[in-house]
Chain A
Amino acid sequence: MADDIRALSTQLAQDPQSLVFLRLADALRRKGQLDAALRVALNGLERHPHLADAHDLYARVLTDKHDYARAFDEWDMALRIAPNHTGALKGLAFLYFKVGDLAQAEAHLDLARRVEPDDPTITQAIEMVRGGASPPSPEPAPASEPAATAASPTAAVSAPALDESRVFAGLEGAQEGLLLLDAAGRVLGGALRHATGGADVTDAVAAYLAGVSQEAARTTKLLGLGAWTGLSAEGRAGNVHLAQPSPEALLLVVRERGVPLGRLAILAQRATAMARRWLERQG
């Protein structure tokens, strides 16, 4: 292994643009040299930002370092570049499993199986998800090498759970366009930036939202429409969706104008499910 790393390092030094960084970073990762693996992966990603394998590799190193939120973003990016990237699909399945979203975990594994129906690791992972056990941490699949099948020793099943204080860890826009509040308008998770200015408007918006939800509840009650389930709005510079993950909590999703209300509602559903689970864990 050490010889491999030396050889790969030499190759990379001779040709920094080559894709050998993928194998080198993976070798370092397997050896447990995560910081070194991270540096190599990041350097490679800077040179090859549109390479799905590079994002996949970076996500794996992040997973080994338990930075699941960023790992999620990287796998999400990999899928945007290459929607059938099985490594990314397996990676996301792993993360969804870790947060307890078995349906999403299985859905991603099913997609992966459609792309690679002969990959036994995917079938095995699906069985594990259905049986409630954790699937093995996904292995890298660099273009020049066959996929490994052994579970990574550095991403063992006993790895600590996602940071529960970060409600939306792993969901796109977690740090900027998702906000979870209690009924009094106090922030429970997420954050919000001004859609055009970029300033942090979390507290200001939170203060208004409690009033909005109370008025929404009153409106539907007095008009005989039953309990309110959602409020969607198109603004001139962005779109918003307000939901109630629980009777004592509010969820706001904000996206740019280009994201249609329908898609926003789907994103809000995912965020609502995550918020609900987080709230249940808080007790």
Chain B
Amino acid sequence: MTGGFGHVLDLITRVRGVRGAMLVAGDDGVVVAEQLMEGIKGAAVAALAASLAGRLHRAMEAAGVGASVFWHLQADRGTLLVVPAVASGILVVAVAEPDVNIGLVRLELLRAAETAG
């Protein structure tokens, strides 16, 4: 399901190591558009990424470092990378292998956020 955002998600998913990319409604935690490999549960990614984004946002505001521009959650078997598109409330999310080129994915997420925002 890409709903017209296919080209935006393409740029992210073509980075080696990215297993899926999606646009998520930040407030609701529901999928707006997705391009996912087999085995990635889109609804779960959307809900959990949005929930974590909300909690992280509150912690960062409390610390005085302001709203997040980019964040990534590293784990043993994968990583979750997120860029909030502030104006629209959309989150651009990528799920990737643990050794993915984070800098490259970050760039594509930022570009996607500009387009989606």
Q: Is A5 part of the binding interface, using a Cβ–Cβ cutoff of 8 Å?
A: no
Assess the A215–B68 pair: CB atoms within 8 A: no
A225/B66 contact (C-beta < 8 A), A212-B55, A215-B51, A231-B56 known: no
Query: For B65, what are the chain A residues with a Cβ–Cβ distance below 8 Å?
Result: 195, 233, 235-240, 254, 257
Assess the B76–A227 pair: CB atoms within 8 A: yes
Residue of A nearest to B81 (CB): A232
The segment from A113-121, A200-208, A274-282 that touches chain B is A200-208
Q: Is B17 part of the binding interface, using a Cβ–Cβ cutoff of 8 Å?
A: no
Q: Is B87 part of the binding interface, using a Cβ–Cβ cutoff of 8 Å?
A: no
Within 8 A of A (CB), among B57-82: 58-60, 62-80
Q: Is B48 part of the binding interface, using a Cβ–Cβ cutoff of 8 Å?
A: yes
Residue of B nearest to A243 (CB): B74
Query: For A257, what are the chain B residues with a Cβ–Cβ distance below 8 Å?
Result: 65
- A228 CA to B56 CA in the complex, in Å? 15
What 0/1 pattern do residues 19 to 32 of A give for CB contact below 8 A with B?
00000000000000
A225/B69 contact (C-beta < 8 A), A205-B59, A205-B62, A208-B62 known: no
- Is chain A's interface secondary structure helix, strand, loop, or mixed overall? mixed
Assess the B48–A235 pair: CB atoms within 8 A: no
Assess the B45–A223 pair: CB atoms within 8 A: yes
Residue of B nearest to A233 (CB): B71
How many chain A residues sit at the interface, stated as a range, is: 35 or more
A231/B74 contact (C-beta < 8 A), A225-B79, A225-B80 known: yes
Q: Is A47 part of the binding interface, using a Cβ–Cβ cutoff of 8 Å?
A: no
- A267 CA to B74 CA in the complex, in Å? 16
Q: Is B107 part of the binding interface, using a Cβ–Cβ cutoff of 8 Å?
A: no
Query: For B104, what are the chain A residues with a Cβ–Cβ distance below 8 Å?
Result: none
Assess the B74–A229 pair: CB atoms within 8 A: yes
- A151 CA to B66 CA in the complex, in Å? 49
Within 8 A of A (CB), among B61-117: 62-80, 95
- A192 CA to B69 CA in the complex, in Å? 21
Assess the A227–B52 pair: CB atoms within 8 A: no
Residue of B nearest to A198 (CB): B64
Assess the A234–B69 pair: CB atoms within 8 A: yes
Assess the A232–B64 pair: CB atoms within 8 A: no
Assess the A215–B72 pair: CB atoms within 8 A: no
Assess the B59–A236 pair: CB atoms within 8 A: no
Q: Is B7 part of the binding interface, using a Cβ–Cβ cutoff of 8 Å?
A: no
Please tell me which one of the listed residues B59, B67, B80 contacts residue A212 in the complex, with CB atoms under 8 A apart: B59
Query: For B39, what are the chain A residues with a Cβ–Cβ distance below 8 Å?
Result: 224
Query: For A223, what are the chain B residues with a Cβ–Cβ distance below 8 Å?
Result: 40-41, 44-45, 48, 78, 80, 95
Assess the B67–A220 pair: CB atoms within 8 A: no
A236/B63 contact (C-beta < 8 A), A215-B48, A223-B44 known: no
- A63 CA to B92 CA in the complex, in Å? 50
Q: Is B9 part of the binding interface, using a Cβ–Cβ cutoff of 8 Å?
A: no
- A128 CA to B39 CA in the complex, in Å? 54
A195-B63, A225-B79, A235-B68 known, 7 other contacts, Cβ within 8 Å: A219-B48, A219-B80, A224-B39, A228-B75, A231-B73, A234-B71, A257-B65
* Ranked 9 nearest A-B pairs via Cβ: A226-B76, A238-B65, A235-B65, A236-B66, A194-B64, A195-B64, A233-B71, A225-B78, A208-B59
